[in-house]
Structure 1
Amino acid sequence: MNSAQWNSQLRSYWNRLPPNVRPWLRRIVLGLLILYATYFLLGNLFLNTPLGPWVANRKPEKFQIQWGPGITLWPGRVTVWDVDMKGQVGRTRWSVQAGKAKGSVAILPLLHKEVRVPDVEAFDVTGGADLLEVRKPPPQPRPGGWVLRFDRIHTESIRSGHFAGLELQGPGSAEVGFYKQLRGGALELMPSTAHFDKARLAYKGDTMLHEARIDARFAIARHTRAQAPGVRKLLMTDAELSLDGLSAAVKTVTDKQGKVTISTVPGQGKAHAKLAFARGSLKPGSELRWHMPVTGTDIAGKPREGALDFMLDVDRDIVFKAKAPAQEGKPLFLDADLRLRGTDIPLQDFKSVVPRASGHVVGRWEFSSLRWLGNLFNAPWLALDGSGAVDADVQVVNGKIAAGSRFGIPEVDAVAHVMGSRIQGRARAAGRLDAGPNDELLPFLELVMDRFNIAAEDAPNRPYVEGQNLRLDLQTISGLERAKLRQPGAVKQVRDALRAHLVFADARVPDLRAYNRYLPVAQMRFEGGAGTVSGDVVLDGAGTVGTGVMRVKGNGTQIHFAGISLRGNVDVNTQLRRADLTGHNFNIDGTRVTLNNMSFTEPGGESRSGWWARIELQRARMDWDKPVTVNGRANIAMKDVGFLLALFSRKRDYPKWVFKMIDSGQAQVSANVQWRDDVLVLDRVEASNQRYDLKARLRLKGKSRVGSLYANWGVLSCAVAVNNGQRDFHMIKAKQWYESQPNLLR
């Protein structure tokens, strides 16, 4: 039917109407036309003038909306272009943009302060949210708030979205509905869905997932802020996620300082997820599979390849597995298998998940710094520094690392500060956790330096010892043992929460003169020769020697002692046992000094060779502080007393019979010894054998030499007083004169 026929038909209907009806019908039609024209004019003026945004943005600090052109052709039906909405709730600032949106508004509910939007369709949608530093305080709940009810917001053209650095790029579609009462009223997210094909997921610009298909369903039950504040909204949430896509690869680059940089690069990994969340718990049957290739370079710049696999399964518990297959020469390896009791997800206190975890973690990873391992043993005198790989086999029971856990370090820079010395070397280490009383864990570390050097703390760049195969064992002691140390009669100050055992043998000392820093050099010093040093000592938690042995040996060693130069073989075996807790005082009972094949020149120029002595200290104490101080009693076996006589005078000054004593065989000698700063005192020296007796006392300070000597051979005797360069011989009543002289030490 054409327009002429329509017009003819309408005129026919009009003519049939009673004459009195026609005027009223004209008025009704005219009124409707005027009403529609008024709505059309006012509605479109509202949409296309600043009046609309002014009305909509009454509280811009909470919500703002702007749009471009708009049109409404029928009451309740609106179409707008270039929509931009944004707002802030708490710390979350959100925004949504749409190229076009059209929908309907129910008119009658407006009379009851309800904005009901049965349907909205949006096009070309983007949006996202960011977390701010400052939280906006929520409004106090008040009655009478308007209700916003959007039953269905639908879009088939999502372009992208982001949240706190995480970005999702479409194409996608979504259908969302929500209910919200203003003035702090209830909120509800109605059952909603989202779907993406060929999506790209990135974090801070790095692609995590691409070519992904994502399907999601979610809903939040109606609640007020008081019922579920903040993250507790998840206790009102139901959600499902289905995901399949290609994963990016992980790239790790280690620089020369050991710093590891991690990023993502395009790759052909795989991701699959089927997760269901219900009011704070994962549903049984949920699963996650993520395979990520790993590429990059190690600290030497060599390429490395590998892969990471993450798996999650939910039944009555949550089972998490992660694997990175081991490859020869590659630093990355991981095999983790952990089970969390139950399916609840901790929402506020994530640490509460720890007691629920049991399983094991085996792996290897390269750290930019291994200093944290030294801190594990609370040993400030030991530093493990630099980069390095760590092999670990960690057992976890009820959220705690369990006994039997182990770790190994193939290579690490190690420095130990022990008694004023700095021991440094490239080391390998192995550690474990032993079981102690009351389920206490006792860490143990075994560290081996294949090569090392030792330097003084105040001269770290001038090592004086070079060695191989140094071993250091560290063992923490149990709380039960520490409690015993605090009992009456035990030590009052406990430094033995940690015990360490340091052992090395025959380390080379290129120049024994390095030890002169510890000696009273005016009276005793090394003048040349090389040697070796060995140590076997037990240290406490402060790095102080508790007990042990230090041994220095030298062949062809040149020694200056009390003005006489000696040359020969020296073996000093020092027995150490700490005498106090705070200082460096030691009991050195049992210390032995052996002199073999010694040659020396007497003050008169006479040379001797083949001399020897065996010295053992009794009731001896030593202060390790520089210079070393020694007090004690020495028992000595020596080839003859020629060296003792040379300390007091030249050979030609003595009566001739005195030197026949030298040829009368070896002597047994005892003496009190004090060595402090630049002062060396020999007191109550008593030497004898079956033929003769010799007694002496001597004090050396700088170039000063003061003392007295008494010799007896059969019926012959003499005494000599030494006062620097002056010597006074007493041939009559020699013994009485000697005994009248005061002792030099108390």
Structure 2
Amino acid sequence: MRVDANHLAATFLDYSVAGSGRLEAFVEGDTAKPEARLALNLPRLSLGRRDGTAEYLSGRHFRLETTLPRFTLDPESIPVEAITTRIELPIAEVADISAYSDYLPLGAGLELLGGNASLTADLQLEGLHVQGDMTLRAFNSDLRVGEQRLRGDLSLDTRLREGDLETLTFDAAGTRLRLDNVMHEDAEGRRVQGWWAQLDLERGRLTWQQPLNLSARFGLAMRDSGLLANLFLSRAGERPRLARLLTVPMISGHADVDLSDNRLHVSDLRLIGRNLEILADLRLIDDIARGEMYARFGALRIGLALDEEGRNLQLFRPRRWYQSIEEARSEMDSRQPLPSDWQQEIEEPPAAPPR
């Protein structure tokens, strides 16, 4: 059976696609127990939120194919675990990436300000389990990180595995974010061109919601440490001099990133470069940077604490000062209260599985 229509629509995850195209139904396989296959092809389409509050992109050659293990006039009789779906969007154009800013926590110091992009997506659903890959390429895009504005090319290769459709939570290990040909201002207000950075998500979980929730370990590489130094020293009176000292080429390292609600927390950050080592814990909440940093550059060693009122420079035994803060934070985390039902969970063994 085939239906050609000017308005066809489908929903997946939190999105809705609509366009003119073709819906086909096939009955295949064993004549005694045939399976059913539905295929939706949209040569041109628009994609937005399922509730219709936002439209994100236009695309071409969208295909959605669903396979049922048996043909039936009552599809609800088929358990959802037995249904498989493949979604392909090979060509899509994003007119303005600022539409995706709702996915970034308000107040976390991150914002997509503008620019167009291309996007591709390939998702496979088996029952309530989903995996897939999405690629975003944006050129001459405007971004904000803390108080700094950047313009450059953005590349995001998203790898989603072990997804749960009920919670929209995924294993995002293997995802890569790269910035290239970036222009930003240094601590003295001069334009810096050709800056780049690469973030590789080594392990972590992503919840696909607005805003996104991410808890992950990243590997980092940057052309130089200038942007990071400016982020930490944005309210320091000695910013130009210190930022110049702490800007060295070709740095790399690791960090834990927690993105949720209205905050960005970068913890256990360690970057190394030419005669430079940086240790830091940075929290961006309500667009205000708070945190602590230790930096060693050759014979120079400094510590820096940021709060709502500005900065506090530590020159006396800064490494020990930073370690004491880390130890206090770790002890505080270990003293977090247990859930109210912790004793019941220990005293009541799990029920034996049915025989």
Which band: TM-score by shorter chain?
Answer: 0.7 to 0.9
Residue 74 of structure 2 corresponds to which residue in structure 1?
none
What's the CA shift string for 1:577-624, capped at 9, x where partnerless? 244453111111111101011122356634322110111112211111
Q: Could you say if the C-alpha distance between residues 595 and 416 of structure 1 is closer, same or farther in structure 2, counting changes exceeding 3 Å?
A: same
**Is the counterpart of residue 471 in structure 1 residue 63 in structure 2?**
yes
Of 687-696 and 597-606, deviating more is 597-606
Matches within 5 A, 1:239-318: none
Residue 527 of structure 1 corresponds to which residue in structure 2?
113
Residue 556 of structure 1 corresponds to which residue in structure 2?
140
Structure showing greater Rg: 1
| Whole-angstrom CA distance in 1 between matches of 2:271 and 2:192 | 19
What's the CA shift string for 1:356-390, capped at 9, x where partnerless? xxxxxxxxxxxxxxxxxxxxxxxxxxxxxxxxxxx
**Corresponding residue SS for 1:517:** helix
Q: What percent of counterpart residues are identical? A: 24
| Whole-angstrom CA distance in 2 between matches of 1:429 and 1:458 | 23
| Whole-angstrom CA distance in 1 between matches of 2:212 and 2:178 | 19
What's the CA shift string for 1:612-669, capped at 9, x where partnerless? 0111112211111221111110111111111111111148725847634524x21112
Q: 1:427 aligns with which of 5, 21, 41?
A: 21
Unaligned regions of 5+ residues in structure 2, if any?
Answer: 72-78, 334-355
Matches within 5 A, 1:93-132: none
Equivalent residue letter for 1:586: F
Matches within 5 A, 1:218-617: 407-411=1-5, 413-435=7-29, 439-459=32-52, 462-477=54-69, 495-522=80-107, 523-541=109-127, 546-580=130-164, 582-602=166-186, 605-617=189-201
**Corresponding residue SS for 1:582:** coil
Given that 2:131 and 2:163 are in contact with CA atoms closer than 8 Å, whether structure 1 keeps it comes out as no
Equivalent residue letter for 2:56: Y
Per-residue deviation, 1:412: 5.5
Q: 1:704 aligns with which of 285, 288, 295?
A: 288
**Corresponding residue SS for 2:326:** coil
Per-residue deviation, 1:476: 2.1
**Corresponding residue SS for 2:167:** coil
What's the CA shift string for 1:446-479, capped at 9, x where partnerless? 322100001112335x522111111112122479
| Whole-angstrom CA distance in 1 between matches of 2:17 and 2:291 | 42
Residue 265 of structure 2 corresponds to which residue in structure 1?
681
What's the CA shift string for 1:236-288, capped at 9, x where partnerless? xxxxxxxxxxxxxxxxxxxxxxxxxxxxxxxxxxxxxxxxxxxxxxxxxxxxx
Residue 337 of structure 2 corresponds to which residue in structure 1?
none
Given that 2:187 and 2:243 are in contact with CA atoms closer than 8 Å, whether structure 1 keeps it comes out as no
| Whole-angstrom CA distance in 1 between matches of 2:272 and 2:222 | 10
| Whole-angstrom CA distance in 2 between matches of 1:417 and 1:563 | 38
| Whole-angstrom CA distance in 1 between matches of 2:239 and 2:216 | 30
Equivalent residue letter for 2:85: A
TM-score (ref. length: structure 2) = 0.82
- Alignment coverage as a number of residue pairs: 321
Per-residue deviation, 1:724: 2.3
| Whole-angstrom CA distance in 1 between matches of 2:69 and 2:207 | 27
Equivalent residue letter for 1:527: L
What's the CA shift string for 1:27-48, capped at 9, x where partnerless? xxxxxxxxxxxxxxxxxxxxxx
Unaligned regions of 5+ residues in structure 1, if any?
Answer: 1-406, 480-493
**Corresponding residue SS for 1:496:** helix
| Whole-angstrom CA distance in 2 between matches of 1:537 and 1:616 | 21
Matches within 5 A, 1:12-51: none
**Corresponding residue SS for 2:229:** helix
Residue 232 of structure 2 corresponds to which residue in structure 1?
648
Per-residue deviation, 1:696: 0.9
Residue 351 of structure 2 corresponds to which residue in structure 1?
none
| Whole-angstrom CA distance in 2 between matches of 1:725 and 1:602 | 23
What's the CA shift string for 1:513-543, capped at 9, x where partnerless? 11112211332121111112211111345xx
| Whole-angstrom CA distance in 2 between matches of 1:554 and 1:724 | 34
Given that 1:569 and 1:596 are in contact with CA atoms closer than 8 Å, whether structure 2 keeps it comes out as yes
Given that 2:106 and 2:263 are in contact with CA atoms closer than 8 Å, whether structure 1 keeps it comes out as no
Given that 2:58 and 2:94 are in contact with CA atoms closer than 8 Å, whether structure 1 keeps it comes out as yes
What's the CA shift string for 1:315-358, capped at 9, x where partnerless? xxxxxxxxxxxxxxxxxxxxxxxxxxxxxxxxxxxxxxxxxxxx
What's the CA shift string for 1:110-144, capped at 9, x where partnerless? xxxxxxxxxxxxxxxxxxxxxxxxxxxxxxxxxxx
Per-residue deviation, 1:555: 0.6
**Structure 1 vs Structure 2 CA RMSD:** 2.5
**Corresponding residue SS for 1:574:** strand
Per-residue deviation, 1:496: 2.5
| Whole-angstrom CA distance in 1 between matches of 2:283 and 2:69 | 47
Per-residue deviation, 1:428: 1.7
Given that 1:618 and 1:633 are in contact with CA atoms closer than 8 Å, whether structure 2 keeps it comes out as yes
Given that 2:129 and 2:164 are in contact with CA atoms closer than 8 Å, whether structure 1 keeps it comes out as no
| Whole-angstrom CA distance in 2 between matches of 1:723 and 1:579 | 38
**Corresponding residue SS for 1:448:** strand
| Whole-angstrom CA distance in 2 between matches of 1:578 and 1:508 | 27
Given that 1:697 and 1:709 are in contact with CA atoms closer than 8 Å, whether structure 2 keeps it comes out as yes
Equivalent residue letter for 2:43: D
| Whole-angstrom CA distance in 2 between matches of 1:448 and 1:645 | 50
- Higher relative contact order (Cα pairs below 8 Å, separated by 6+ residues): 2
| Whole-angstrom CA distance in 2 between matches of 1:420 and 1:593 | 23
TM-score (ref. length: structure 1) = 0.41
Given that 1:564 and 1:600 are in contact with CA atoms closer than 8 Å, whether structure 2 keeps it comes out as yes
Per-residue deviation, 1:427: 1.5
Equivalent residue letter for 1:504: L
Equivalent residue letter for 1:727: R
Q: Could you say if the C-alpha distance between residues 565 and 506 of structure 1 is closer, same or farther in structure 2, counting changes exceeding 3 Å?
A: farther
